[in-house]
Amino acid sequence: MRKKWFFLFLIGTIFFVTGFSMKQDKLVLVTEAGFAPYEYYQEGEIVGVDIDIGREIAKELGMKLVIKDVAFDSIITEVKTGKSDIGAAGISYTEERAKEVDFTIDYMESRQVLIVKRNSVIESPNDLTNQKIAVQLGSVADTYLTEEYPNVQVIREKKFLAAIQDLKDNKVDGVVMDEVPAKELVTTDLIILEEALVTDHYGMIVQKGNPELLEKVNGVIQRLKEDGSIDEMLLNHLGVKEENTKMTFYDKFYYSVIYDGRYQYILEGLKNTLLIALGAVLIGVLLGGLAAIVQNVHDNTGKLYLLDKLAKLYVTVIRGTPSTLQLMIIYYVIFKALSVNIVLVGMLAFGINSGAYVAEIIRAGIQSVDRGQIEAGYALGLHYHQVTFKIVLPVALKNILPALGNEFITLVKETSIGAYIGIVELTKASDIIASRTYDYFFPLMIIALIYLAITLLLSKLIHRMEVKLNHARG
């Protein structure tokens, strides 16, 4: 009983310490900070035109601005579900988006231009026929090309930097994106065609049913447009491009890791990755162990019928649905009305996911225990629970240790999808660095080496534990 209350107290403490609380006196602006000059990282902070406008809005409301960095295609979901108050990331108005969120008045004109290689046969948008054109997933360029150029093969990338890399690697024939950030990406082998595909305007988004906030935001934007402040903001954030051509390996390493303290993103990503993986494996072992024991008790005694059905349903549903979907449901549905620390959400989501696999690992371990050992326990006068906890589980633990170790390694790598809800894990750290160096490949290679080092270290530790257990058996 004491252990039970201690466990409940521990869980409650974790929720309290990690920020399980209602939103108070803060204005949460959600963006994707890789779209200079509108939002980008500089000296460890997210800055840009949209951020400057957000600060003016927060000042008008007498609130503190909190900036959240997520994947572009998650921004509308963030605002729609109330996880964030305002969305701003070069968002163009479309009828489909307007059904989900409310748009403010526009604050910036957007020219969607076509980037091609200098020797390209594409000289204007009229030349687009059956080529492969890359865009950022969910962007206005994505929608426009799909509707207006049905013969074009649209390649949708999560990041526009990945789209540019596809063009450099000759995987696509062109890239469509906003003209202002496009100018930051053009190198000697790339050009921007003069004729724009389409011209539209950027606005911010707020949750439907909040006319007071929408009116306040519109008022601030209108004031900033009339007094020329937005034009000044744009000029202030232009010219931030960093040269990345003709760099040596040391130059790339310096600008990706050392310059501007960018190693801090990697350290934060590493910390969050390991913290989420450790918390998830503990939750997974707890849930998986309970599910496995319940099923084992039912299979051997016929008891716990209802719990057995629930355990099997849990395993079936979790193993049959993508972990990304589970993460989104937990964050945007279960914790919809609450401001929860996203690292804790990651622990819970990956822990619940892992528990289903751990349950099957433990069940397999229990079934691998020699029947003779169980019969020997009964012969000594032990009842079922004593045999289970004193003989079956200790032996099963030795058998399943390698599989549990592999599950932990898998969890470390699976945390890379945490960027969907704004978790700065290792992969997100590489995206942040790439958004400033305009080199998509090199930061990913650094992160890949870190993942490899973690995997090798964990594999070695697991092997040592196996050797010790084998010696103990002998």
Higher pLDDT, 252 or 449: 449
DSSP codes, 158-224: SSHHHHHHHHHTTSSSEEEEEHHHHHHH--TTEEE-SS-SEEEEEEEEEETT-HHHHHHHHHHHHHH
Residue 74's nearest CA partner among 412, 417, 335, 431 is 417
Residues of the chain with CATH 3.40.190.10: 19-107+201-242, 109-199
Instruction: Supply the pLDDT for residue 336.
Output: 79
User: CA 28, CA 422: separation in Å to the nearest integer?
Assistant: 13
CATH 3.90.420.10 fits 19-107+201-242, yes or no: no
Instruction: Supply the pLDDT for residue 242.
Output: 46
Q: What is the pLDDT of residues 200-233, one digit of tens each?
A: 889 999 999 999 999 999 999 999 999 999 989 9
**Unique residue bearing structure tokens 């046969």:** 121
Which tokens is 227 given?
């007094």
Q: Say if residue 121's pLDDT is above 80.
A: yes
Task: Give CATH for domain 109-199.
Answer: 3.40.190.10
Instruction: Supply the pLDDT for residue 327.
Output: 93
Say whether the peptide bond before residue 37 is cis (omega within 30 degrees of 0): yes
Question: How many CB atoms sit inside 10 A of residue 145's CB?
Answer: 26
Q: Is 92 in contact with 201 (CB distance < 8 Å)?
A: yes
Residues of the chain with CATH 1.10.3720.10: 263-473
Question: What does DSSP say about strands 108-117 and 174-178: parallel, antiparallel, or unpaired?
Answer: antiparallel
In CATH terms, the superfamily for domain 263-473 is MetI-like (1.10.3720.10)
Contacts of residue 172, defined as CB under 8 A and 6 or more positions apart, other chains included, come to 131, 132, 133, 134, 155, 163, 166
Which tokens is 77 given?
């979901």
Q: What is the pLDDT of residues 71-105, one digit of tens each?
A: 888 999 999 999 999 999 989 888 889 999 999 99
Tell me how many degrees the CA angle 451-44-278 measures, rounded to the nearest 5.
35
Which tokens is 20 given?
């399980």
Instruction: Supply the pLDDT for residue 24.
Output: 53
Q: What is the pLDDT of residues 23-38, one digit of tens each?
A: 458 999 999 988 888 9
Q: How far is CA 72 from the centre of its chain?
A: 11
Instruction: Supply the pLDDT for residue 21.
Output: 44
Question: How many CB atoms sit inside 10 A of residue 211's CB?
Answer: 10
Instruction: Supply the pLDDT for residue 402.
Output: 81
What is the pTM for the complete model shown? 0.74
Q: What is the pLDDT of residues 310-354, one digit of tens each?
A: 999 999 999 999 999 999 999 988 887 677 788 999 999 999 999
